[in-house]
Chain A
């Protein structure tokens, strides 16, 4: 590595174009919505940047509920909901993803690349298509219900009619569907960093723990999980943040109550045409994102200091 001064010509030639793109097509747009978030609508299209905090305050606004005395903080509720569902999704993805990553890790070299490919291939398929595919499965007369019905009827027959008729589970247009869809879509994404972290481990760590008398589960908890922690941490980030800002699953699989923050933002920029408010919401989302990343960096540094990170 050399100092930029040693070779200024090359430095600027390779440095300027990407920097231009970053500034112009990334930082500038973000700055504009940051500015808009402090602005007001003037007429149909224009926005006057007045430095007002109205849009931000609106996030905490308490909207009166039809047919009752009280009011709800609609937008805050949606933020919480997004955080909760993203967290749940991440939790399930890691819970399921870790054994999958383990399986690939322990597979013979002949199988490894194929198994990895099998898990990752859905990730290469279009997000929209995968979400759409779930619609067919989750509907009242979709295959999952059909399968459950078959099982139900079978059990019913065995118990001589004790169970009665099968009522299909209403899965579409529910929060359940949204989370189901999120797990479905993000799972391959979670397996990758988990597997990568495991790959960096030496088989001998586990052998050593088994040699020292730990049972398999114990070896797993006390040796593999701590060592794979950096991988778990990055899997967490890689799943949580996209899940937090996800748009398609609530849009296609959820009902009117299932909106998450991305859907609200979309409405502000399109149908509701309230760009300042949409910008404020986007910035809040960004702040939460940065906070989560900072949190992860903090814990990572702490781990390194305690010498636990390999």
Chain B
């Protein structure tokens, strides 16, 4: 059996001192989550000791009509706000990448602001805003989700803009010129050459926006009403008022969805990454 090669000076990752810190951190980060998931299978109602094994709580969670509605709301909002955010984000990225205009640094600062300021400020500001301008209330589904959706777009599209802008930074301008040289006008050139290049950025940005919307609590907390409860909001009220493993089951479902989505994102990235950001 061959001996393991000696640790080179820079191979810090093989040193046990660093490794143990890393493993400790992983334990710290994941233990609570695993415990939460474990309790979702416990037969006991109280969250003290895990007893037995059952899927009952999942059954309860899935049959809970309030949860179902909250779930539907969350997904609807996420889809709508992602769609709008991706479009707005792409436009912003194009604007900032392509054009010089007066006060551009100020504009760039304002675009980033929604993600920099504390969520609570934006949340209460939106609450005050919707109240002041008498935003229509009591609309039928899904229009009653408009308030939340619009708010989610406000803090999502700057993220998308950043991601897409990074992608545009390595765009070879000659591709656009070649398209024009071959007879394409302004819009066909954007459509045929720039947008395909943006695609990986749009996908990554879209998934980011989707997750942000699905997971959002604070801003949704202030812009929702009694009939427009989202999943995180519902879990919150369950946590506050009646903690049973049903909450754990619901949480686990959300965790699984998030992991699946992230995996999907990475898989898509891997595939679309096959198209190189070429210029040469």
Contacts and interface: CB of A to CB of B under 8 A. Distances in A.
Interface of A: 1-4, 7, 9-11, 14-15, 17-18, 21-22, 25-30, 32-33, 36, 45, 96, 99-100, 102-103, 106-108, 111, 115, 117-119, 121-122, 124-130, 132-137, 141, 143, 184, 187-188, 203, 206-207, 210, 216, 241-242, 244-248, 252, 261-262, 265-266, 269, 275, 278-279, 282, 285-286, 289, 293
A17 B129 contact: no
20 contacts: A9-B186, A10-B98, A11-B99, A18-B88, A18-B111, A26-B114, A30-B125, A32-B129, A36-B128, A100-B22, A124-B258, A126-B214, A129-B251, A136-B36, A188-B29, A241-B117, A245-B121, A269-B222, A278-B124, A289-B116
Given A18-B111, A269-B222, A289-B116, A282 B124 contact: yes
Interface stretch (B5-13, B51-59, B64-72, B198-206): B5-13
A130 B248 CA distance: 11
A224 to B, nearest CB: 11
A293 B262 CA distance: 31
Given A128-B232, A129-B235, A262-B120, 20 more contacts: A2-B99, A14-B92, A15-B95, A18-B92, A22-B110, A29-B125, A29-B126, A32-B129, A33-B124, A36-B128, A119-B26, A121-B262, A128-B239, A132-B251, A133-B32, A210-B9, A247-B217, A282-B124, A286-B118, A289-B118
A269 B131 CA distance: 12
B132 interface: yes
B254 A184 contact: no
Dominant secondary structure of chain B at its interface with chain A:
helix
Q: Which of B99, B118, B122 has the most CB of A within 10 A?
A: B118
B101 interface: yes
Nearest to A260: B120
A133 B235 CA distance: 12
B5 to A, nearest CB: 13
Contacts of A25: 126, 129, 150-151, 153-154
